[in-house]
Amino acid sequence: MSVYITSKKVRYITSIIFVLFMVFIVGGSYLSQQEKAKTEMLSESLSY
């Protein structure tokens, strides 16, 4: 394989890993935010 093809493969794999990492971070933040909102709403309804 030529150096160009090898580097292209490496860049492709790296970009896939980066996208998966960002999905993990953003998804975790989203779920955390939803859980926090749910908890706040529940605590407000119990305080009345």
In tens, the pLDDT along 17-34 reads 999 999 999 999 999 999
pLDDT, greater one: 6 or 48: 6
Dihedral Cα 8, 9, 15, 20, nearest 10 deg? 170
pTM: 0.69
The amino acid present at 27, given as its one-letter code, is G
Which residue is listed with tokens 């529940």?
42
- Is the model's pLDDT at 46 over the cut of 80? no
Per-residue tokens: 30: 């989203």
Separation between Cα atoms, residue 16 and residue 35, nearest integer Å: 28
The winner for highest mean pLDDT among 21-25, 37-41, 44-48 is 21-25
- Is the model's pLDDT at 47 over the cut of 70? no
